[in-house]
Amino acid sequence: MTDAPVLSLRDVRKSFGPVEVLHGVDLDLRAGEVLALIGENGAGKSTTMKILAGYQPATSGRILLDGEEVSFGSLHEGEEAGIVMIHQEFNLAEQLTVEQNIFLGRELHNGWFLDKARMRRLAREYLDRVNCTVHPDTRVSQLSNSDKQMVEIAKALSRDARVLIMDEPTAVLTGSETETLFEQVRAMKADGTAILFTSHKLGEVAAIADHVTVLRDGAVVHDGRAADIDEDGMATAMVGRDVSDLYPDKAGAPDDVVLRVTGLDVPGHAEGVGFELRRGEILGIAGLIGSGRTEAMEGLCGLRPARAERIEIDGAKIDIRRPSDALEHGLCYMTEDRKLRGLLLDKSMRVNLTLQSLDQFGGLMIDRAAEERALDRAIEEFDIRAGRREMRVGNLSGGNQQKLLLAKVMMSDPSILIADEPTRGIDIGTKQQIYAFLRTLAASGRAVVMISSEMQEVIGLADRVLVMRLGRVSGTLSGDEITEDAIVRLAMGVGAGDSERAA
Amino acid sequence: MTSETTNSPMRRALPSMSVLGPVLALIVLVVIGASLNANFLGTANITNVLARSAFIGIIAVGMTFVITAGGLDLSVGSMAAFIAGLMILVMNAALPSLGVGVPIILLGMAVALLAGLVAGLLNGFLITTLGIEAFIVTLGSMGIYRSLVTWLADGGTLSLDFELRTFYRPVYFDGILGISWPIIVFAIVVIVGELLMSRAKFGRHCAAIGSNESVAHYSNVDVNRTRLLTYAMLGLLVGVATIMYVPRLGSASASTGLLWELEAIAAVIIGGTVLKGGFGRVWGTVIGVLILSLIDNILNLTDLVSPYLNGAIQGVIIILAVILQREAKAKG
Amino acid sequence: MSYMKTALMGCTMLAMSGAAWAQDETTVIGVSIPAATHGWAGGMNFHAQETVERLEETYPELDFVLTAASDAGAQVNDIEDMVATRGIDALVVLPFESDPLTPPIQSVAESGTWVTVVDRGLSVEGIEDLYVAGDNPGFGRVAGEYMAEQMPDGGDIVVLRGIPTTIDNERVAGFEEAIEGSGINIIDMEHGNWNRDDSFNVMQDFLQKHDQIDAVWASDDDMAVGVLAAIEAAGREDIQFVLGGAGMKEMVQRVMEGDDMIPADVTYPPAMIATAIEMTAVGLVSNAPVSGTFTIGSVLITEENAEQYYYPDSPF
């Protein structure tokens, strides 16, 4: 099945200003083959993909399409050549419907008018192929992230791509959604499509890829058949050091209770949620997407309307009506969505870092020098790597954004940190740093709540695990009880095998 | 990527076009004006232009905050007319009991500030608490205030009592050290506004809200309160502008402050504030206001173009000033 | 507000018409005018209301419908409503603009309704039964003649024009014609849009530009207010007088008091609407309608005759 490559890069270099970010990359995409492009955040994966798809020109080097050198003048020419890219940040018009998005820019016509019937039929067909049950008339703004991803894929299917490039397609998908996606990938592969995808989930890479290319610091450090490299080998190649010891050691004996919540209701999302959090521990919250984990914690922190029977911090009953109440009591929530809720993408690191805790930087007037010093410390402590200090945060890599977000919430020095998906979409090296940080934080006499959809992370890091299902706590696990099997049983409801997605 | 990991020292490049654009436009206008008329750079003309710019300028400073926080206020022109009318009515009514003197002027000023604050709070309340689109709310209040002033004036003109006006006049025409009051007040408003925008928590919060409301909410910024404050502040500044306006002609009518809202918004945008919010600069707004006033001034001082085309010239310059900034953005 | 007033007026009318109905033989007169958006229009609205009230008292058999429109489109709607719902026997209309109002008024006239047009003529001749017109060229001419008479040795003057319209053009043409050969030079001319603030700014700039200005034709009393404020602020002594126009009560009062800066004014009376309504009403009642064109000339107001043109109760 390996014949001549469809699309290739030869000694491609890319510079942004004086900084060269790709140092001579070679890459081959073959028909009927899945290539996994992996590497740490900032290794150059996104840039490589954008050059392949014609979003960005290369500074030097050649792009070969069917062996012929091409240069895509625009994105459109890339698509004309049958190259479709699905972005990590969704490229969907939020106010249009699913169907309108699928056919956006290439609407089907029937003379002067739109051929709505045919578009409806085809939209339905594409959505069915990816097992997506949303109605074609739903507005994209009302969809969950995973549904948006499926719509993106349906859109790509409608393009009849020869080459499909997917930037972390599984980052927001649940396990079974990922499986649905992979079925489609296999089907497209069988049809002769060349597929490139990136993922930080190395297990998936091993499962679906035929070929693995590893990038580190803008250069290819490994290139070979997927069968010839195991997950540890991939991680080592990506990071350049041994990462088998991903999770820090767990804590010893639990301490006294610092947070006790009973009867927390978040209308429409969670009901009667109660739990205890002890000093020095990391409490994992597991559950399916949509099980009300995020909403419950947001409600607890005053970020959305909620009511609780009783909230105690250090034994004292407290009232939380707005976010500032939570912060005053040392309770801080770190959002799962760093791009839409966490960071101001068009502002600098300094502005983002201090936004939540501006009170620390002078009264009415802001002490900029103090802000700069805080940024120095944060860059040092959280190992944030940015080309320039003043660059837009939106131009940072995902891992560095996540570290900045962590630094931002830590500015208020919380005694209880609720971290929602703290490692979503970031590379394994950064994950390791964040795990170590959370453990150190807990060990220093604080407490951490970590919401996560990654089973391995919950099992590896949490001292106790609380599982939510349909807006309620379905169980708590600790010590040796924390197993993948036990969590899945609680998350799905014992015996409830098929109705997986909850309200 | 190794080069990225080292913290390169901050490089001091030339200021970008987005900063230079409006400044250049202003300089070009000044040069044109000076070359066409010898009196252009005279103290008297400069005083005239600055004092004239003060009304729109003071309002535009407030508008800068509203727009930066992702809002809009179309009602300021008619709000100014209404406040002016109200102020005149109250002062005339209080004349028999208070007589001509400082107290009645202070009463008038208090009425203007209070009315402005209340009007601004009302806009802000409808927009934030009730969650109605700013465009719709202020379009509505624009019509309401315009009608109210027409009604108060009975379709005609409300005039301040002649003696009172003579007493109040110095507030527009006099000043200290040869600088007239409107210019002084304008300068103070600008300095406070600039500090508030670029150095204070309030400005930072406005930019955060305009940039991304959810991020601001998740960052413990009280979105509704901050927004409400921007509208209240704008209302208050409309009151301040009216205090300067009334002594000039001592009258208010249905045509007072007509299209001020659009001039203020245009000045804000020419100055480099982003119309959809997230970034604002007060000093830029001042440049925008001056550009708009200077165009009129130069066209009056010279006979270059038919007066029928004044509006067209203004339009071209507004669009050019904004294109200059765009151009810069595209190049990075 | 004009809205509410109109509504109120409508209610009053309804009540009155109810009373009048009892006497049978009611004649309904529709009056459609532009809303009070500036001083002159405000005065015109005042005179219209006052006349309607007065005539309703005098002639119980007459019934009036008064509407004020904020633009030409709204005025067309007003007129259509009058015809459809009130069955008017006569229409007195001061058109917002000539062109858009011509066809609807034409169709009213064709249905046999008496039509009186005020101030602004229609685009097609012969539609109206009675035309009560202001005299715009005459307005300019009277002003020009006064200027020429006051400045026998000539001089340099500046002119402030109104909103660019036919009315303004006719006035300025009349003025220029009248000062021809008198030695008076118009050294500058700019639009002040019949607005106090605009004319203030324009005059400030004129004062910067010209070292010697002998007199100002402000062509409107609102603009004269702005001009006077600018002159006063600049402390200039070279300007001998400012001539406005229209007959605003504050200006007439200054003429009456012998103010040097305002020695005269030229009428363009907003009360012409009253004349038109009255002529129409009397014509309908007496069965001897007056038709044709009735021009209300512009008159020079000076200290001697100012008292007759002073309406202290009018808002204008």
Tell if the CB–CB gap between A303 and B218 is shorter than 8 Å: yes
Question: Does the pLDDT at position A260 exceed 90?
Answer: yes
Q: Please, which pLDDT band fits residue B100 given cuts at 50, 70 and 90?
A: confident
Q: Looking at the structure, do residues A232 and A271 belong to the same domain, yes or no?
A: no
DSSP class of A139: B
Backbone angles phi, psi at C73, to 5 degrees: -60, -45
The interface predicted TM-score of the complex, written ipTM, equals 0.80
Tell if the CB–CB gap between B157 and C39 is shorter than 8 Å: yes
Q: Looking at the structure, do residues A434 and A358 belong to the same domain, yes or no?
A: yes
Question: Does the pLDDT at position B12 exceed 80?
Answer: no
Contact (Cβ atoms closer than 8 angstroms) between residue A191 and residue A33: no
B180 near C CB under 8 A: no
- Secondary structure, 3-state, C200-236: HHHHHHHHHHCCCCCEEECCCHHHHHHHHHHHHHHCC
Question: What angle do the packed helices B260-270 and B282-301 form, to 10 degrees?
Answer: 120
CA A138, chain centre distance (Å): 24
Tally C-beta pairs within 8 A across B and C.
105
Tell if the CB–CB gap between B147 and C200 is shorter than 8 Å: no
Question: Does the pLDDT at position B39 exceed 90?
Answer: no
- Nearest by CB to B249, which of C4, C188, C229? C229
Report the C-alpha gap between A220 and C185 in whole angstroms: 84
Q: Please, which pLDDT band fits residue C14 given cuts at 50, 70 and 90?
A: very low
Nearest Cα neighbor of A198 from A20, A52, A13, A343 is A52
Whole-number percent of chain A with pLDDT over 70: 94
Concatenate the DSSP letters of all residues of A6-56 into one string: EEEEEEEEEEETTEEEEEEEEEEEETT-EEEEEE-TTSSHHHHHHHHHTSS
For A307, counting Cβ atoms within 10 Å of its Cβ (0-12 exposed, 13-18 middle, 19+ buried), the class is exposed
Tell if the CB–CB gap between B207 and A347 is shorter than 8 Å: yes
Sheet of A19-30: strand order equals A19-30, A5-16, A60-65, A68-70
Q: Looking at the structure, do residues A181 and A301 belong to the same domain, yes or no?
A: no
Backbone angles phi, psi at B197, to 5 degrees: -75, -45
Classify A463 as helix, strand or coil.
coil
Question: Does the pLDDT at position A145 exceed 90?
Answer: no
In a domain, B68, yes or no: yes
Question: Does the pLDDT at position B332 exceed 60?
Answer: no
Cβ atoms < 10 Å from Cβ of A230: 12
- On chain B, the residues whose CB falls within 8 A of the CB of A366 are 199-201, 204
The CATH number of the domain holding residue B69 is 1.10.3470
Q: What is the mean pLDDT of residues B274-302?
A: 89
Backbone angles phi, psi at B159, to 5 degrees: -120, 140
How far apart, in Å, do the first and last CA atoms of chain B sit?
21
Q: Looking at the structure, do residues A450 and A311 belong to the same domain, yes or no?
A: yes
- pLDDT for residue A359: 86
B210-248 pLDDT, tens digit each? 999 999 999 989 999 999 999 999 999 999 999 999 988
> Domain count of chain B?
1
Report the C-alpha gap between A403 and A408 in whole angstroms: 8
Tell if the CB–CB gap between A341 and B11 is shorter than 8 Å: no
The CATH number of the domain holding residue A75 is 3.40.50.300
For C181, counting Cβ atoms within 10 Å of its Cβ (0-12 exposed, 13-18 middle, 19+ buried), the class is exposed
Q: What is the mean pLDDT of residues B128-150?
A: 93
Contact (Cβ atoms closer than 8 angstroms) between residue B99 and residue B281: no
Contact (Cβ atoms closer than 8 angstroms) between residue A127 and residue A148: no
- pLDDT for residue A73: 63
A69-78, A158-167, A460-469, B171-180: range with lowest mean pLDDT: A69-78
C247-292 pLDDT, tens digit each? 888 889 999 998 889 999 998 888 889 989 988 988 888 877 778 8
B39 near A CB under 8 A: no
B248 near C CB under 8 A: yes
Domain end position, chosen among A239, A266, A295 = A239
Q: Please, which pLDDT band fits residue A129 given cuts at 50, 70 and 90?
A: confident
Q: Please, which pLDDT band fits residue C303 given cuts at 50, 70 and 90?
A: confident
B195 near A CB under 8 A: yes
Residues in chain A: 503
Q: Looking at the structure, do residues A383 and A314 belong to the same domain, yes or no?
A: yes
A173-182, A212-221, A300-309, C150-159: range with lowest mean pLDDT: A173-182
Q: Looking at the structure, do residues A350 and A205 belong to the same domain, yes or no?
A: no
- pLDDT for residue C112: 87
Concatenate the DSSP letters of all residues of B130-194 into one string: S---HHHHHHHHHHHHHHHHHHHTTTSEEE--HHHHHHHTHHHH-EETTEEHHHHHHHHHHHHHH
DSSP class of A338: I
- On chain A, the residues whose CB falls within 8 A of the CB of B224 are none
C136-266: CATH architecture: 3-Layer(aba) Sandwich (3.40)
Q: What is the pTM of this model?
A: 0.77
Q: What is the mean pLDDT of residues A2-20?
A: 80
In a domain, A324, yes or no: yes
Report the C-alpha gap between C143 and C163 in whole angstroms: 18
In a domain, A286, yes or no: yes
Report the C-alpha gap between C277 and A263 in whole angstroms: 77
- pLDDT for residue B63: 96
Q: For the domain covering C2-128, report its CATH number.
A: 3.40.50.2300
Its domain, for residue B131, covers 52-331
Structure tokens at B121: 């709070």
Structure tokens at B305: 């173009």
Its domain, for residue A78, covers 5-82+161-239
B218 near A CB under 8 A: yes
Average pLDDT, chain B: 86
Question: Does the pLDDT at position B209 exceed 90?
Answer: yes
In a domain, B41, yes or no: no
Contacts of C12 (CB under 8 A, 6+ apart): none
Q: Looking at the structure, do residues A365 and A431 belong to the same domain, yes or no?
A: yes
Q: Looking at the structure, do residues A226 and A289 belong to the same domain, yes or no?
A: no
In a domain, A122, yes or no: no
In a domain, A198, yes or no: yes
Q: Looking at the structure, do residues A229 and A282 belong to the same domain, yes or no?
A: no
- On chain A, the residues whose CB falls within 8 A of the CB of B219 are 355-356, 408
Q: Looking at the structure, do residues A228 and A300 belong to the same domain, yes or no?
A: no
Question: Does the pLDDT at position C219 exceed 80?
Answer: yes
Question: Does the pLDDT at position A373 exceed 50?
Answer: yes
Domain end position, chosen among A213, A239, A265 = A239
Question: Does the pLDDT at position C134 exceed 90?
Answer: no
Domain boundaries, chain C: 2-128, 136-266
For A501, counting Cβ atoms within 10 Å of its Cβ (0-12 exposed, 13-18 middle, 19+ buried), the class is middle
User: Do A and B touch, counting CB pairs below 8 Å (3 needed)?
Assistant: yes
Cβ atoms < 10 Å from Cβ of C316: 29
Burial profile A139-172: b = 16 or more Cβ within 10 angstroms, e = fewer: ebeebeebbbbbbbbbbbbbeebbbbbbbbbbbb
Average pLDDT, chain A: 85
Q: What is the mean pLDDT of residues C209-222?
A: 92
> Domain count of chain A?
2
Q: Looking at the structure, do residues A227 and A321 belong to the same domain, yes or no?
A: no
- pLDDT for residue B187: 95
* Chain A: partners with 3+ C-beta pairs within 8 Å: B
Q: Looking at the structure, do residues A372 and A467 belong to the same domain, yes or no?
A: yes
- pLDDT for residue A241: 66
